[in-house]
A and B are shown apart, each in its own frame.
Chain A
Amino acid sequence: DAGVIQSPRHEVTEMGQEVTLRCKPISGHNSLFWYRQTMMRGLELLIYFNNNVPIDDSGMPEDRFSAKMPNASFSTLKIQPSEPRDSAVYFCASSLGGWRGYTFGSGTRLTVV
């Protein structure tokens, strides 16, 4: 298995632009998580899905953030419009749930200028 695949690896965009981050979880994993990592706040859970259904989006900072999981093999995190304070590394992780650990992707480093 290729693991959790995220794209792009790096994204530089101008303030106000729309940004879409993509994630392909491990086949068979039924839970998918989006995290944001910054030096100041560490790893923050933004949203997670179970069997493609959003379970908890209380970590989504603002209405500018939205996430979808149209099927078991694909998820997107969209920021519209983007702002400089959104600059961070965004990680996607998947899991079989329960007593199992997460498998993380390599992350997308987002820079909003």
Chain B
Amino acid sequence: SQQGEEDPQALSIQEGENATMNCSYKTSINNLQWYRQNSGRGLVHLILIRSNEREKHSGRLRVTLDTSKKSSSLLITASRAADTASYFCATDAGSGGSNYKLTFGKGTLLTVNP
């Protein structure tokens, strides 16, 4: 079953604009991660935010986490055509130790038009 649900399913913007994608999940988590997938390729890890963190930055990426609402958002600032890809949130709800596995949402397809 899908733990995370991304919203919107698809997003189309112009180069230079900001893109915001949201993720909602159902159970308590240890951490939440965002991945990017270019067409025909594997997923690439972008950023991880722990359950006790509220915001994290990495370059043009900003991730927020609201555990009370069980939701997260990924903001990409000053988007570029090369940011065109599918973006997935993934949650780790394991019990720790060797029980570490990610459950992925179905993704948001971002198209950045030049």
Contacts and interface: CB of A to CB of B under 8 A. Distances in A.
Interface of A: 4, 31, 33, 35, 42-43, 45, 48, 50-51, 55-56, 91, 93, 95, 97-107
Nearest to A92: B42
B98 A42 contact: no
Contacts of A50: 98, 100
Contacts of A51: 98
Interface in B13-61: 31, 33, 35, 41-45, 48, 50
A34 to B, nearest CB: 11
Contacts of B107: 42
B101 A56 contact: yes
Given A101-B33, A102-B43, A104-B44, A43 B100 contact: no
Given A31-B100, A42-B105, A99 B42 contact: no
B68 interface: no
Interface of B: 2, 31, 33, 35, 41-45, 48, 50, 88, 98-107
Given A42-B2, A43-B88, A102 B102 contact: yes
Contacts, number: 56
B64 to A, nearest CB: 18
A106 B98 contact: no
Nearest to B2: A42
Give chain A's interface secondary structure class. Answer: strand
A102 B41 contact: no
Given A100-B48, A103-B45, 5 more contacts: A33-B101, A42-B106, A101-B33, A102-B45, A104-B35
B58 to A, nearest CB: 12
A99 B35 CA distance: 15
Contacts of B88: 43
A105 B37 CA distance: 11
B31 to A, nearest CB: 6
B40 to A, nearest CB: 8
A101 B45 contact: yes
Which of B42, B98, B101 is most buried by chain A, counting CB atoms within 10 A of its CB? Answer: B42
